[in-house]
Structure 1
Amino acid sequence: MARITSARVIVTCPGRNFVTLKIETDEGVYGIGDATLNGRELAVASYLEDHVIPCLIGRDAHRIEDIWQYLYKGAYWRRGPVTMSAIAAVDMALWDIKGKLAGLPVYQLLGGAAREGCMVYGHANGSDIAETIERAHEYLEQGYKAVRLQSGVPGLAATYGVSGERFYYEPAKGSLPDETLWSTSKYMRHVPELFARGRDALGWDIHLLHDVHHRLTPIEAGRLGKDLEPYRLFWLEDATPAENQAGFRLIRQHTTTPLAVGEIFSSVWDAKQLIEEQLIDYIRATVVHAGGITHLRRIAALADLYQVRTGCHGATDLSPVSMAAALNFGLSVPNFGIQEYMRHTAETDEVFPHAYSLSNGLMHPGDKPGLGVDIDEALAAKYEYKRAYLPVNRLEDGTMWSW
């Protein structure tokens, strides 16, 4: 038995906000988990401090499954991003502890490596198509095998996925949410040209991806997918909001472009119909928002039955703790597809020293016991929390729309 003696929440902002849970045991071993929920960070911090941590003290840290069920079923009010992010933080920390006590990286506890490394994709974004292609070439030069293309849309002042930074994209800002304008018709005219020119410039040996960010109706998404078929996308991501899972049936009727969705899912129930009816090709649920490694394994196991592969969300609003957990998961799971990788700032990497590495387009979690990531609490304390919001989106006539 490794009895939990204490647990605490660490909130830090080395360029953006992160929430980390640290669990300590009577054997002198600790584990850390990510609890970051972009734009609502303190809600999860409070959930952990006020409702979860008191229930952990004295429990056996080895009993990961039992503690997961206790926190999920015991709350009665199940699921949702706040609850599941809090449970995920506990779950990650317990896997970290188990790995350290065993002297093994977590992926070895999950059955060992199923591949040499996890293929990742980078984000090539630009104010126009030429700049996007230039950024994509930079990723190819670094050995990437997959790149997401996002470009500014003519006639729109701002576009999702496009920022002034070459390798970083952080949409959360302070004060109050930014309001951006959207035009589906302008976007639909522009994206096929982006990929036509992208294929001409980048060739066919690189995987190309694109994120719609939930902004189309199902029939619009079907039309876009059909328009993009000649360019053989690796996937079209978040083509329409997935609250109505059956909406993806309509998209499937009109295009063979592979579909990916799920970065905002919090449980297997959000993806059950999508997977069982084979309405998607990649499930993008992430380790922090979908209940940790324990629950993400259940989602992947269901998906594997229907030839749906994983494609975990990996934006900068997930800390290096989540990236380490996702890589341990991805290295071991049989139906791994691809891992999103957005680089963290140098300040973030200093606060969260880690063992994972990138080589020739593949990432590996490293072989340190546990998750292979730590937190420098003294350094984290120097970066105070700063309230920040994700943008909101409106149509050009002022109607609220999905951001």
Structure 2
Amino acid sequence: MLSPQLIQKYNTPAPRYTSYPTVPLWENNLNGEDWEALVKRAFGLFGSKEGITLYIHLPFCESLCTYCGCNKRITKNHSVESPYIEALLIEWKNYLRLFGEKPKLNGIHLGGGTPTFFSPESLKRLLSVITHSCDIAENPEFSFEGHPNNTTFEHLAALAELGFDRVSYGIQDFDEQVQQSIHRIQPFEAVEKATQNARNLGYTSINFDLIYGLPHQTIATLEKTFDRVAELMPDRIAFYSYAHVPSSFPAQKSYEQYLPSELEKRNLYDLGKEILLELGYVEIGMDHFSRQDDPLAKAKDLGKLHRNFMGFTTSPSKMLIGLGASSISDIHLAFMQNEKGINAYQEAMESDNWPIVRSHAMSDQDLVIRNLILDLICKHEVVINEELDFFLGKKQWEQLAEMRDEGLIEISPKKLKVTDDGVGVIRQICKVFDLRLQSQNKELIFSKAI
């Protein structure tokens, strides 16, 4: 268990490393023609053989959850569904043109916002076009994020017909005071019903998103939350650290004085992890747990676990295509993020332009460091070889030696391995390898690492 001194030392801002380089350090060096050329090249190298995965961002919510850092628009006007779907389909057709052949689809993830803001009919309209234009891989991963309050039996049934068998429910916490503070009010009965509906329809993977470090959260309230979780025993649990960045999300200021201290927050994580292990879950990686028979646990044991913007996955695809406002595409050779504004995104689609707001073409060094960071997060170890020595300088080796002395990592002649204590500060260990970040003089905004 991390000491209070190490918690204080390493509880500083750090990227979450859903990508390398992290988004604020992208060089923004691609225009539409560049992006098209790289997509064609990547599909020829990887996509035509391995297949692709899709992330579709559905950004609408009927009410604001004040803790949330996602790109969303709050509205109760459901007439926004149809024009947004039209824009998504235009973007998808543009990618099909670049592929030049029917792609093999390994997975789809619907993120938000609240995907179940959209009616079952709207979702079927969008997804049937996409799935009919692809060859579906064997055992695809089709998943979506659901709000327990509005994920109806009809939503689940419509998506099941299209091949979806994975759902992630945003629970965050079951305590009423915590829920009221973050404006995410959902009774246990709603979660129970949404969970049972999914199981009755044959969903094979149900995930709960939980957050530690929320306002008014205590050891006692978190124990009660996990008592309720134990009643339902989802297949996977994401136990995230609350990211307090009020400069970017002003609504978070409303409860700032009720947040736990950094030591209290760490104690909440340690408690949650202990309970999950006692319940029979295994730790998959940064903030993620699954049941022992889950495909993620098996992939970790086999060294085949992967991580991308959608989280931990078993998918072999090097090409993740993002559709929709703010979505990010990762084609291994480059990254591209779409316009965040919904109107700006839709206008770009109507004008038949790529909605590029950020981009980055990978250098040879980027590709090496990306693999190192992925190995740290997914395998908790990296091989020490000439390539690693070449990229790491004296400063980085001194930082690693300090972490070794603190019991966070082990270093042998051929391997660097993260210890159990080190897993708790894995973002800070990855940061040592982040040469782009270490070369920056300006201060960037990230959430604290613990």
The TM-score, its normalising length taken from structure 2, stands at 0.36
Higher strand share: 2
| Larger Rg computed on CA atoms | 2
TM-score by length of 1: 0.40
